Amino acid sequence: MPSTPVEILSPDGDLAEADDWLLDTSDIESFFVVAVAGPQASGKSTIANALFGTDFPVAKRGDVGEATTRGILLSHVPATESIQKDTLVLDVEGADARARGRDAKGFAARCAAFVTALADVVVVNLWFHDACRLDSAAYSLIRSVLFTCADGLAGGSQPRTSLVVAVRDAEEDSSEALEQLSSMIQNDVNDIWANVALEAGLAVGTGGTPLAELVDLHIVMFPHIRHQTDDFDKCISGLKQGLYNGEIANDDHSKQIPADGVSVYAHTLWQSVSASPDPGLGGDDIDRKADEFYGGDDFAIVAAYRCDEIFSLKLADASADIGELLDEVESSSVISDFGKKCDDIVSHTLQEYDADTSDFADEPVYERKRTELEAIIDTGLMSVFMKNVAIIAREALAAFKGSIEADLPADYALYNADAIFVKRANEGLRQGSNWTFQTERTDLQNMMNEIAAQQRKLQETEVNASQQQTKAMQFLQMQHAQMNAVRQQALGGSVGQWNLGAAYRPPDSNVNLSLAYQQGKTNLQVSMVPDESATLLGPAGFTTGVGPGNLGMSFNVNF
């Protein structure tokens, strides 16, 4: 939607300060500038509103003789999907404003020179009944436009200008008559150019510069807006299409003014134009002022502002990319090809910065902000790199521990884990950076060496314990064997597979003799048994009194 019209040039000839232009130049390299000029009440604002959808004030039927537009008004028409150009529309005060009296022509000429040096396209309204009248207000404006182009040619720096003569309220019914009128107007403009070139000191006639080399002239016949509304709308549609499809305006007509420097450049131009003693002249001075702008303090200010603005925009874009990498690494995931991704972010950001600030490549601020931009991005990426290296180190340590638990040699496990860490960490380095992971590598090696030392100490402890256990078992086995031998001896000799024994009892006696031999042991047993007739013999029995209950007695001797 077009912006609300802003007064950039007051009726007193004061140009508004840059902030008062209310232009948002974010993401805009340059503007497509169209100026609409012409006699008072010729429908300048009407045609501008019809072409661009702007809201410039228009005259009412009762405002005859009163100027609706005073000075110069500006409206910004943002780019759209169908029209990808940000357009500035300039609505210029009427050339023959009654309120200005004798100063009307001088002010109109200065305004015409000003907008010609600023705009890609200048639309001049010409009343149908003023066609071919060389003293008309519209022809005076055309003369001022051509003067500016002529002086630009003399200075060697004026680009082409597209001049559209909008013939208002054309009344001829036949196309042949309109074509004839168009041809006559074109001849008039060429005659004006011949006079202008002569006054500007340029070659005329043979060897001179034809108008076509400086100005693309287009003549459009507009029928009456109220009586032939449909035909008027068709003319508006055709003119609008020509403005944006390259038929009427193209890159050759652009003044190549940076969007954020247009207000500063305009001040330089207006100072030159307003100081010119002759409103029709001043082109050389304009070129000189333009050169001063591009080589002086004003341009340096614009360069600083623009480079700083682009710096902020590109840093924000890069920060978003870094944020995505940070989210990934904070999820404890190693970022593969981290170095390549960093190179892509830095390269893409700097390329965009270079493209958007190419107009200021020769200014010191350009390189300074570029270096600062790369340094800040590099710092942000390095912080993510260190987090990525920390994860790689943890995974390398885990692999080392796994090798140790698998009983692989500690030295081999350490070498293998360190090699994997170095390889993966190197893949994350950005080209041209001074990043290093030596400290992290040293810490990893120290941890692995400590774990290896603990593992070796544990293994030595286990070996010693095993040896001591073996010795203890051998000692216990020896003691067990000795105890078995003692027990066997105590119970009847050593363990054997054979023994020998004999027993003898003398006849008619109560004595029983027995002799037994087992490997390593001899047993002699003498026993006295009760007399089976002791109860009958009474006191005369052999064993009487031997023991209570008629117990027997034995005597054993072991050898």
Asked if 150 contacts 202 with a C-beta cutoff of 8 angstroms, the reply is yes
| 101 pLDDT more than 80 | no
**Confidence bin at 525 (pLDDT 50/70/90):** confident
Give the residue with greater pLDDT, 418 vs 109.
418
Q: Is the pLDDT of residue 492 over 70?
A: no
Q: Residue 276 pLDDT > 80, yes or no?
A: no
Any idea which of 53-62, 124-133, 293-302, 541-550 has the lowest mean pLDDT?
A: 541-550
253-279 average pLDDT score? 76
pLDDT at 260: 78
- Helix ranges (H only) for 357-496 are 364-405, 410-426, 438-492
**What confidence tens digit (pLDDT) does each residue in 116-175 have?**
888 889 999 988 888 888 778 888 888 888 888 877 776 555 567 889 999 988 876 667
Cα(173)–Cα(170) distance, integer angstroms = 9
CA-wise closest residue to 107 among 131, 72, 158, 58 = 72
The confidence score (pLDDT) of residue 212 equals 83
Tokens 């050339």 label which residue? 95
Residue 542 vs residue 90, higher pLDDT: 90
> What are the tokens at 520?
């390593």
pLDDT of amino acid 521 = 74
One-letter identity of residue 445: Q
Extract the tokens encoding 398: 């885990």
The dihedral of CA 109, 113, 118, 121: what is its sign? positive
User: Among 36, 6, 218, 189, which residue's Cα sits nearest to residue 111?
Assistant: 36
Residue 53 region, left (φ>0) first, then alpha (ψ -120 to 50), else beta?
left
> By the 8 A CB rule, do 37 and 44 touch?
yes
- Which pLDDT tens digit goes with each residue over 449-470? 888 888 778 878 877 888 888 8
Q: Per-residue pLDDT averaged across 76-99, rounded?
A: 80
Does the pLDDT value for residue 40 go beyond 90? Answer: no
Which range, of 10-24, 192-206, 349-363, 382-396, averages the lowest pLDDT? 192-206
pLDDT above 80 for 428: yes
**Residue 527: its H or E element:** strand 521-528
How far from the centroid of its chain's Cα atoms is residue 545's Cα?
A: 124
Q: With contact defined as beta carbons under 8 Å apart, do 33 and 21 qualify?
A: no
Average pLDDT of span 407-432: 88
* Mean pLDDT over the full length of the chain: 79
Q: Does residue 259 or residue 428 have the better pLDDT?
A: 428
Region of poorest pLDDT, from 24-38, 372-386, 514-528: 514-528
Question: What pLDDT is attached to residue 18?
Answer: 75
Q: What domains appear along the chain, each with residue ranges and CATH number?
A: 6-295 (3.40.50.300), 302-453 (no CATH), 499-558 (no CATH)
Cα 266 from Cα 291, distance rounded (Å)? 13
- Asked if residue 281 has pLDDT above 50, the reply is no
Query: Which pTM value belongs to this model?
Result: 0.53
- DSSP 8-state class, residue 258: B
In the predicted structure, residue 482 carries a pLDDT above the cut 50: yes
- Give pLDDT, residue 322: 92
Helix/strand/coil (H/E/C) assignment for every residue in 156-210: CCCCCEEEEEEEECCCCCCHHHHHHHHHHHHHHHHHHHHHHHHHCCCCCCCCCCC
Q: Check whether 549 has a pLDDT greater than 60.
A: no
Identify residue 311 by its one-letter amino acid code.
F
Per-residue burial over 406-436, b = 16 or more CB atoms within 10 Å of its CB, e = otherwise: eeeebeebbeebbeebeebbebbbbeebebe
| DSSP-derived 3-state class of residue 522 | strand
Provide the token pair at 412. Answer: 């081999």
pLDDT of 545: 45
**Per-residue pLDDT, 409:** 83
Share of the chain above pLDDT 90, in %: 14
- Taking the C-alpha atoms of residue 215 and residue 280, their distance in angstroms, rounded to an integer, is 17
Residue owning tokens 């943002």 = 78
Cβ burial 288-325 (10 Å sphere, 16+ → b, else e):
ebbeebbeeebbeebbbbbbebbbeebbeebeebbeeb
Taking the C-alpha atoms of residue 256 and residue 31, their distance in angstroms, rounded to an integer, is 9
